[in-house]
Amino acid sequence: MKYMTAILSCLSMLSLHGAPMKLYTLGTGAGSPTMTRDNSCTFLQTSKYAYLIDAGCHVSSKIIRKGLDFNDIKAVFITHMHEDHFGGLTSFLKNRMHKYSPYTRPGKWKGFWPEIWMPDADGIKAFDMLMNVQLRGEGKEKIIWKLIKPGPFYDDGHLKVTAIPNKHFKVNDEYLPSYCFLFEVEGKKIFFTGDLRNDLSDLPIDAAKDADLILCEFTHYVLSRHYDIFQKLNPGKLVFNHVAKRNEILFSDFKKVIKYPAFIANDGDVFEIK
Ligand SMILES: [Zn+2]
Ligand SMILES: [Zn+2]
């Protein structure tokens, strides 16, 4: 009986934590798409829900072609209001609200609509108007807009997210909202840098270091100038996305210096978080 209880307890742990979380780098390009890279969008699959970090073009087709399920997505987090990070959002909303609703795919319905977390209230207003034009009011209540504030801002009992402002987005001497995200889920830490300044002075080393996985942008700085920062970060795994050719060329030298596993993501790659 004692053994049976122990086995049942192990099985229930396995069903919760058995499969490692998976990070799908659906779009890994920077600025404009290339022949092989679409714009930023990353899909985190946990044991319970999925989450989307940025929704650049062509997020919907990437989700469909990878065989992922729109209905798993509990929340979308947009790092900043540059088009390469939100350009696929209206298509995502249309597909999530219509094609994957309890009416059209009852077998797939998981019982919730996703929250769309935006960094800027003007962005919410603009998308809300656009969706009004597209949907003419139909199903509008299904789109749950939320505004990101610096600090811990999201907790669904499974995932906690903290927003740390960075200095990537500057217009006329004014810094506009732009965030790094720290995800805490299933006992793991995942850090998303979002886009950064070109000297990496806004990369919050203390918040990011020792994360199980860091997803770091790879465009707005010269890789060879910042080995000291990457040595301090010391994550379980470093994945570069938002990829620029210039840094791709510098990567093989970087790999010789850095002691932990590091990768350049391609569209459609999957990274396990164990
Ligand atoms: Zn960008
Ligand atoms: Zn940007």
Tell how far the Cα of 156 is from the centroid of ligand 1, in angstroms: 27
- For the ranges 14-18, 62-66, 177-181, which has the lowest average pLDDT? 14-18
Mind giving me the DSSP string for 139-192? Answer: TGGG-EEEE--SEEEEE-SSEEEEEEE-S--EETTEEPPBEEEEEEETTEEEEE
pLDDT value of position 170 = 95
Residue 200: left if φ>0, alpha if ψ -120 to 50, beta else—which one? Answer: left
Distance 20 CA to ligand 1 centre (A): 28
Per-residue pLDDT reduced to its tens digit, 130-187: 988 887 777 777 899 999 999 999 999 999 999 999 999 999 999 999 999 999 999 9
**AA letter at 149:** K
CA of 76 to the centre of ligand 1 (A): 17
Q: Could you read off the pLDDT of 191-223 as tens digits, one per residue?
A: 999 999 999 999 999 999 999 999 999 999 999
List, as ranges, residues with CB under 5 A of the ion ligand 2. 82, 195
Cα(161) to centroid(ligand 2), Å: 20
Quick: pLDDT tens for 240-252.
999 999 999 999 9
Which pLDDT belongs to residue 18? Answer: 66
pLDDT-above-70 percentage for the chain: 93
Whether residue 7 has pLDDT greater than 50: no
Q: Which two tokens stand for residue 258?
A: 């850095």
Share in percent of the chain as helix, strand, coil (round to 5): 30, 30, 40
The arithmetic mean of pLDDT across residues 90-98, rounded, is: 88
Residue 14 pLDDT more than 50?
Answer: no
* Mean pLDDT, rounded, of the chain: 92
The alpha carbon of 73 and the centre of ligand 1 are apart by a number of angstroms equal to 22
Buried/exposed 166-191: b ≥16 CB within 10 Å, e otherwise: bebbeeeeeebbbbbbbbebbebbbb
CATH H-level superfamily of 20-273: Ribonuclease Z/Hydroxyacylglutathione hydrolase-like (3.60.15.10)
